[in-house]
Amino acid sequence: MARRIFSFANIATVTAFADTTGLTNNQYPGFIAGGSGTQQIKIHEISISGQAASSSSPTFMLWSRDSTVAVTPSSGAGVMDAVMDPATVALAAPPISGNQGTTTPQRSSSAHLMNCSLNAFGGVFFWRANKWDECPVILGNTQPNGESSLSAFTGGTPGPVGGHIIYEPL
């Protein structure tokens, strides 16, 4: 399979959410879910860049499994998912991604996979797996393992961010 890139150009209103609270459309970078009940996805890289114009903006970001998955998913302006290699063959069940839904994801209170915090006033968070066994895995398309999201946690003063997530459906 070929790698894909989920990117978010600018999430101007990043909102801090408590665990198990429905995320608000367009106020978090996004989620990735399997395109079928058996699809496996490996997360290879997460990069977030702060875009606050002034003053310190501690932004506590979490990559977590979701206890409620998105229903009727879609993406807001500047949020997109694309194959990295244009010669990639279309998948029968492509992964699902976005930052909107008629039912929005809820971050699990017991499955935070990665702390991706940064200062949104020019700060950068960057993580890349060195080998396959270090990749967080999404399995299927139902909770508790079929969807993961990147969102701000309570506390701090979240600021605008942009970035990308590189992943590979298997």
DSSP string, 81-107: EEESSTTPPPPSS--EEESB-SB--EE
Alpha-carbon gap, residue 131 to 146, rounded angstroms: 22
Angle at Cα 131 formed by Cα 127 and Cα 136, nearest 5°?
60
Q: Which residues contact 9 (CB under 8 A, 6 or more apart)?
A: 78, 79, 162
- What range does the domain containing 63 cover? 4-169
Chain segment 48-66, per-residue pLDDT in tens: 999 999 899 999 999 999 9
Looking at the whole model, is its pTM more than 0.85?
yes
DSSP secondary-structure letter at 74? B
Query: H or E stretch including 124?
Result: strand 124-128
| Residue 71, pLDDT score | 95
Chain segment 94-153, per-residue pLDDT in tens: 999 999 999 999 999 999 999 999 999 999 999 999 998 999 999 999 999 999 999 999
Alpha-carbon gap, residue 103 to 2, rounded angstroms: 29
Chain segment 7-36, per-residue pLDDT in tens: 999 999 899 999 999 999 999 999 999 999
| Residue 62, pLDDT score | 98
pLDDT-derived band of residue 1, with 50, 70 and 90 as boundaries? low
Residue entry with tokens 């270090």: 134
Q: How many domains does the chain have?
A: 1
| Residue 13, pLDDT score | 87
